[in-house]
Structure 1
Amino acid sequence: MTPDEFINWLAPAARRICRSYRLYASVCIAQAAIESGWGRYTIGDYNIFGRKAAAGDLFTEVRTREYYNGELVSIVDKFKLYSSLEDAIEDWCQLLTQEPVYVKHIDNTSLETFVQTLAPIYATNPNYARDILLTIAANQLTQYDD
């Protein structure tokens, strides 16, 4: 999938679902693009966010690379499986609006502040916030924010 194809596939659902949670669809799309390599590395059919499985979730085990103590290491971890794209987006929105570590950072905040606060909680990559913001800017993703 090209970046444009990926955006066209994801943006309508991201816009609709993120709007109902008062979240930035641009961040949703950018994170999905980064986490899945524009859809090339989707886990299962719809895990485009790299969401790890919790107890009781359907999952698959996948080799992944993560930063620990500043060092990039390869590990095998359990990742969620979703039955639809909408389920994956809904889960991402619920994570950000229901998990206490995120909840205190999502209301009445600018896009940049939201990303700068979200990134170190969501990912181990020390450049994650920069990568999200660059992806949003390069692909004009703010057009999907309402």
Structure 2
Amino acid sequence: MRIGELADRAGTTTRALRYYESLGLLPPAGRAANGYRSYGDEHVRLLEQIRTLQDFGFGLEETRPFVECLRAGHESGDTCADSLAVYRRKLAELDACVERLRSVRDQVAAQLARAELAASAGGEPMCELAPPTERTPSP
């Protein structure tokens, strides 16, 4: 298949395909007699892996171990040790992000409670939120 067809099947652009190829994520395409790139099902499979991981928030370079695992002949891109290590790092990142969000949620909930209390007492609520790393004690 030609590059445009591959791009359509993978839900990406021809420019992205050339970029992936320049990074070594996709093996170089064969060339037809007319000089056009010629791609096969292996390229589709690799692109599906890359796109799926990117949809889940993995960076392009983080997809490399999965692609290399597939290119090594494994049935799945996440059966190799390097792929599992990427999963572990991503999970740790997500856990840290969830914790930051919980902290912000708790701060917003506390501020809402203070604001509602002040409003019910006829006072003016004051915003006491500050970035978590620069939190100052309230008076």
The answer to whether TM tops 0.5 is no
Larger Rg: 2
More helix by share: 2
- State TM-score, norm by structure 1: 0.28
More strand by share: 1
- State TM-score, norm by structure 2: 0.29
Higher relative contact order (CA 8 A, sep 6+): 1
